[in-house]
Structure 1
């Protein structure tokens, strides 16, 4: 059988790196995309079935070059995971247009640009798109006017893609991670915030990067061959519990 190829953006760390490693375990090759070249080189160094490509998904010309180089290197693209994103939180009153655009250009524009540029390759393989949104795109929270709005837009974009690209055999789904125990989250979440999340999440814990990767890789696989247009909250049940978290209202 021909070895399948996944393109993963934001692959230098976190969920993107965990997803890359799981794809490789499942027998895939991976094109790892990130704009942080130094971090990407470290992440890809020991991954024999992966190749690193340093590009910024928010810049159209770079996205076109990225797709050209990936298809030249691998000959095909079977799945695209739009994971690259920025988390810039702050009150509405302190969110100027520059801050708004900084979030949107990666979190939303980047997903659109990469999806558009890879669609011809995905048509050839009848492949899969998986866009990474966030629980913040499903439920409102303080300090996330730009971030939450960008992720809600990614959810709608995914549904549009599923509706229109299905006739070409392309499946499009969206994963919305809840609180995940990343190095960054643990560095910025105070004990009070961590306790508040635990209280609000039915499973009473943060998720792991690997747990999110499991959902992503499943949706890219043939096991999900009749699944498209879906929004999967990998959040320990957080979305089912309503609003709250006074500790986050600071």
Structure 2
């Protein structure tokens, strides 16, 4: 399947939400996509035959995914570090977050990106490709109920800037995309951040989500959709703006700073 002229991408955490949208958009742009996730969803199987079941929170998981991509495709042009995790939300705040919570969140959110980038960079540098990290506005606006996740995302943005500075002279571009609230399971499914904040407000989750854009001061009036993040990934790798490097691009609907 290796093709020296093809564009090849690796996407982590691709079974649903933002990762699935990114994998879909890259497929539609003609990329060969190797997608990694702990559980391979039916939707992901439809997008790519190279859906790899892997635990990206383990020391060997990210390298295994990258090695599989190189073996199958011959090289990597794009790595999208999307996988993230937290044991939260933590309604009781910082003092309730254990060492195990921190290790889980940092391992899946930050160290997975470190390990995947380390494995992929020799090939990406050779092909003058891209790394895109999916961050969060929480890296700039810490949330007490997501203190571990916010810190991990801040570290991820810092990592991206450092890699851009080191590898930019070699033709590699590294950028971070930091979304605000995105309509994914984190907000829409039981037990997530949407549930927590709805309970604190004393209303149903559906009512809370309907009111969220206004309450969070999002001037667009709507939450970000996963496809919007995917569209920004496609733009960054399109070659239309080759001087964007080391940037942290926010897509949050004009989220009000003080909230």
Structure 2 partner of 1:247: none
* Matching of residues 100-111 of structure 1 within 5 Å: 100-111=102-113
1:34 is the counterpart of 2:34: no
Say if 1:58 and 1:106, in contact at 8 Å, map to a contact too.
yes
Find 2:258's aligned residue among 215, 219, 243: 243
- Give 1:186 shift: 1.6
- Farther off after superposition, 154-163 or 52-61: 52-61
1:46 is the counterpart of 2:62: no
Secondary structure of residue in 1 paired with 2:145:
coil
* Matching of residues 172-191 of structure 1 within 5 Å: 172-187=174-189, 188=192, 189=194, 190=205, 191=207
CA distance in 1, matches of 2:62, 2:232: 25
1:10 is the counterpart of 2:9: no
CA distance in 2, matches of 1:124, 1:50: 25
Find 1:23's aligned residue among 19, 26, 42: 26
* Matching of residues 82-121 of structure 1 within 5 Å: 82-87=81-86, 88-90=88-90, 91-121=93-123
Aligned length: 238
Say if 2:67 and 2:119, in contact at 8 Å, map to a contact too.
no
- Give 1:46 shift: 2.1
- Give 1:194 shift: 4.8
CA distance in 2, matches of 1:64, 1:211: 28
Secondary structure of residue in 2 paired with 1:222:
coil
Say if 2:10 and 2:66, in contact at 8 Å, map to a contact too.
no
CA distance in 2, matches of 1:50, 1:231: 31
Structure 2 residues without counterparts, runs of 5 or longer: 195-204
CA distance in 1, matches of 2:144, 2:50: 38
- Farther off after superposition, 228-237 or 197-206: 197-206
TM-score (normalizing by structure 2) = 0.87
Deviations 1:178-201 (A, max 9, x none): 111124412242223652443311
Runs ≥4 in structure 1, deviation > 6 angstroms? none
Find 1:208's aligned residue among 225, 236, 240: 225
